[in-house]
Amino acid sequence: MAKNSHALFSALFFVLLIGASHAGGGIAIYWGQNGNEGTLSEACATGKYSHVIIAFLNKFGNGQTPEMNLAGHCNPATNSCTKFSADIKDCQRRGIKVLLSIGGGIGSYSLSSPKDARTVATFLWNTFLGGKSTSRPLGDAVLDGIDFDIELGSTQNWEHLARFLKGYGKRVYLGAAPQCPIPDKFLGTALETGLFDFVWVQFYNNPPCQYANGNITNLVNSWNRWTSSVHAGKIFLGLPAAPAAAGSGYIPADVLSSQILPVIKKSTKYGGVMLWSRFYDGQNGYSDSIISSV
Ligand SMILES: *[C@@H]1O[C@H](CO)[C@@H](O)[C@H](O)[C@H]1NC(C)=O
């Protein structure tokens, strides 16, 4: 008996060791804003991504009828995006978390009050998460969570939306994509709730805190501030997957792998790398180049 339990303990210990040696970071990828990037299933079948973030629900709040935009992939208005329900389930079967991103750089969204935040939370729960609605643009697949990519409109009430969404249960994951300057103008207050599981910080289009011309100082200093001062589950280094994917902040894959990842991985908050976007990653092969170092 004692011998057996010792063997069991050894086996468990071995599994934990193996698990730990593979406990590096993941790659989170935004999908949805280019019809030529392939399907969600194809993205997940590459085996490269830990999180897929569907972008975007870009109209909601303040009494507006919510609208989703998935570029050339499908048209939510004619209900042709429900075909992605099977893709979402396929990704989840592979252990990939699938989130819906709300906001984005183009759109019409804001939360006019805490009550409005509750209305939007109820809508998101019924339409994309575990609730029920006659109108589910992504079909009956239950997404793993909601990502806040709030870049315009009002700075107010996002913390209430986070609280209402997390109120549905721990397994509703919350993601956020703040800009690297601290505090983020739109998401700073929401991040203070400590309710976010994944914070993929945009270290691009932000010269004060991004990589530039071979100099990693500003980026590393900013990363250290994020990981030491922002209360979140895991923090991801958000990057453009190709030079054309952002106005500035692209990091050559060899610089990322040899100079930056070894430094930022020292933080226990390190969750991996976020890339904008699946389209550019496909064009540039960026995740192929960095995955062994992530
Ligand atoms: C890198 O950037 C930092 C911060 O702007 C600056 O202080 C430093 O001199 C730069 N290093 C080099 C080698 O240019």
* pLDDT the model gives residue 6: 53
Confidence of residue 20 (pLDDT cuts 50, 70, 90): very low
| Pair of tokens at residue 75 | 């048209």
Pocket of ligand 1 (CB under 6 A): 215, 217-218
Distance 215 CA to ligand 1 centre (A): 6
192: phi then psi, degrees, rounded to nearest 5: -65, -20
User: pLDDT averaged over the chain?
Assistant: 94
* pLDDT the model gives residue 19: 40
Could you say which DSSP state residue 66 is in?
P
Q: Characterise 194 by phi-psi region: left (phi > 0), alpha (psi -120 to 50), beta (else).
A: left
pLDDT at 3 over 60: no
Q: Which residue numbers are catalytic?
A: 151
The gap from C-alpha 117 to its chain's centroid, in whole angstroms, comes to 21
* pLDDT the model gives residue 15: 44
* pLDDT the model gives residue 24: 87
* pLDDT the model gives residue 10: 53
Distance 134 CA to ligand 1 centre (A): 56
Q: Nearest residue CA, atom 12 of ligand 1?
A: 215
* pLDDT the model gives residue 7: 52
* pLDDT the model gives residue 4: 52
| CA separation for the pair 278, 130 (Å, rounded) | 26
Above pLDDT 90, what percent of the chain? 92
Please tell me the pTM assigned to this model: 0.92
* pLDDT the model gives residue 1: 43
Q: Nearest residue CA, atom 8 of ligand 1?
A: 217
pLDDT tens digits along 221-279: 999 999 999 999 999 999 999 999 999 999 999 999 999 999 999 999 999 999 999 99
pLDDT tens digits along 145-174: 999 999 999 999 999 999 999 999 999 999
Q: Which atom of ligand 1 is nearest to the CA of 215?
A: 1
User: 259-265: long-range contacts at Cβ-Cβ below 8 A with a sequence spacing of 24 or more?
Assistant: 259/216, 260/211, 260/216, 260/219, 260/220, 261/290, 261/293, 261/294, 262/293, 263/216, 263/220, 263/223, 264/220, 264/223, 264/227, 264/237, 265/24, 265/25
Determine the average pLDDT of the residues in 278-294: 98
Pocket probe mutation, ligand 1, options 215, 219, 255, max atoms within 8 Å of Cβ: 215
Domain ranges in the chain are 25-290
Q: What is the dihedral of CA 62, 67, 68, 73, to 10 degrees?
A: -160
CATH of 25-290, one of 3.40.50.300, 1.10.357.10, 3.30.420.40, 3.20.20.80: 3.20.20.80
* pLDDT the model gives residue 23: 55
